[in-house]
Chain A
């Protein structure tokens, strides 16, 4: 993963163009002439998605995940503000840790199907995801782009097969500094005790293979965060199909 010190396309001004003043009342010619500053990039809400693509995910699990990801993309892209504020990166861990997608604006995100094989190098994947978030914040700061607290969303159906404790500690320390919001989801017979070690926030166990509901929830949550105002607690959607949430607010 290269360091990005250039201004990526996604950081230039948003696709929300200044709309014409045609909807202004005719008698008010001065107010209809008010124009808006075109140079402010939208604030960014970065989200890293980490998907377990180990052997055990093959079959229904990975196909439901892939389907959910498609719906996630369309749900986000339906929201005008979320499209230009949410940035997504996708990492998979199975045979190897792979950057499926480097950070890209939601409006440009194109989901691709994931394939399952190999073991579960979760520790390495989490470490890489943390590095990517820190580097992304640097790019924002260097380019004068405001940003929200980034999200980290991990889905696994098993347990790590590599060294993971240092990654778990890094996550906990980052949470203590409020430098990210970490969510872990365990599928089927995932090792929830291990997942518990990663975060202050209790991991969620997915009901069945309801990836789509989970992704709709995630899309709504990211949309809320991306338009949240100072001092606002962002309530997570309590009616999510995931059932009673162990956590309250972000």
Chain B
């Protein structure tokens, strides 16, 4: 079945409605920086205030002061991640089409990307691998040049990261002399900072965070079309219109990011609520494990276990991150 597009539209969190022209301007500005790396965004905006219309009232959006001392990481992060090929792909001798990338940046933020290749895409695994790597790179470059201080800044950053990743994939397709759709894959991007929790999604991956008071919260809702096997892909022509972004002005203790192979085990699909029995042991597991490599090995073994595969024969990816 050809992939049909879900009808979700990009929406801003917290009911913000930024005039389109300002969004485009902000996005273009960041795109310019991302591609040419010329302007120092912080220097240009340090002493200016931006105002945006929120619910009909003008609201100040104060840019974050850049501290004079170098930002140090005041907390360390633990990671574990694994992608395992599904039994359906084993039967058809197709490779695992899931990919993930994560990084703790020198500036203290954590970035995670998970990408799930479309079953019919001829270069699905190449697409998902490229996308996950490129998305993390783009975010790293953007955060090296700017410190987002408000929701609008994060919105623009995430849109730029997705657009830049898609553009890079287009260029790769041209260089490889293959159609863009050959690399069709979903993308979820999660950024955790000491003040913010940010998620962008095109497709049906899921991100669940553990907030400061120990509650599990779902971020972006996995996107599904009318039929169970349809979703949005980064490669489709209106991909950026389907981009869903959630921003919380609070830090998270940890996060779990999943590809869609695990959705019906981990979430109540009707309400998008996380099933605590799935996530709590994962966080406990990460805390107990001393060695990232060992954690990855055990996670992979879990994903290959019989009881997981009784419920899903899709490729499965899980990335767990928590503050050490």
Asked whether B229 lies within 8 Å of A232 as measured between CB atoms, the reply is yes
Asked whether B285 lies within 8 Å of A149 as measured between CB atoms, the reply is no
Those of A133-187 within 8 Å (CB) of chain B = 144, 146-149, 178
Asked whether A34 lies within 8 Å of B278 as measured between CB atoms, the reply is yes
- Tally chain B residues at the interface, Cβ within 8 Å: 52
Q: Indicate if A39 sits at the interface (CB-CB under 8 A).
A: yes
Given contacts A37-B264, A37-B267, A250-B1, are A233 and B228 in contact (CB under 8 A)? no
Please, which residues of chain A bring their CB within 8 A of the CB of B311?
Answer: 16, 36
Those of A34-87 within 8 Å (CB) of chain B = 34-37, 39-40, 43, 80-81
Contacting A31 at CB < 8 Å: which of B228, B260, B277, B285? B285
**A-contact bits for B275-306, CB 8 A (1 contact / 0 none):** 10110011011001000000000110110011
Asked whether B285 lies within 8 Å of A233 as measured between CB atoms, the reply is no
Q: How far is the CA of A40 from the CA of B223 in the complex (A)?
A: 16
Q: Indicate if B21 sits at the interface (CB-CB under 8 A).
A: no
Those of A214-241 within 8 Å (CB) of chain B = 225, 227-234
Given contacts A232-B1, A232-B229, A250-B1, are A33 and B266 in contact (CB under 8 A)? no
- Nearest residue (CB) in B for A147 is B228
Asked whether B2 lies within 8 Å of A23 as measured between CB atoms, the reply is no
Q: How far is the CA of A16 from the CA of B265 in the complex (A)?
A: 12
Contacting B302 at CB < 8 Å: which of A18, A34, A39, A233? A34
Q: Indicate if B230 sits at the interface (CB-CB under 8 A).
A: yes
What is the interface of chain A mostly: helix, strand, loop, or mixed? loop
Asked whether B227 lies within 8 Å of A231 as measured between CB atoms, the reply is no
Question: A-B contact count, CB below 8 Å?
Answer: 132
Contacting A230 at CB < 8 Å: which of B3, B269, B278, B298? B3
- Tally chain A residues at the interface, Cβ within 8 Å: 38
Please, which residues of chain A bring their CB within 8 A of the CB of B306?
Answer: 19, 23
Q: Indicate if B163 sits at the interface (CB-CB under 8 A).
A: no
- Nearest residue (CB) in B for A34 is B281
Q: How far is the CA of A230 from the CA of B204 in the complex (A)?
A: 9
User: CB within 8 Å of A: which residues of B?
Assistant: 1-4, 86, 88, 116-121, 124, 184, 186, 203-204, 224, 227-231, 233, 260-261, 264-270, 275, 277-278, 281-282, 284-285, 288, 298-299, 301-302, 305-307, 310-311, 313-314
Kindly list the 5 A-B residue pairs having the minimum CB-CB distance in the complex, ordered from nearest: A231-B118, A232-B119, A35-B277, A30-B285, A37-B275
User: CB within 8 Å of B: which residues of A?
Assistant: 16, 18-21, 23-25, 28, 30-31, 33-37, 39-40, 43, 80-81, 144, 146-149, 178, 225, 227-234, 249-250
10 more contacts with CB within 8 A, not counting A231-B117, A233-B1, are A23-B307, A34-B277, A37-B267, A144-B270, A225-B1, A230-B119, A231-B3, A231-B184, A232-B120, A233-B2
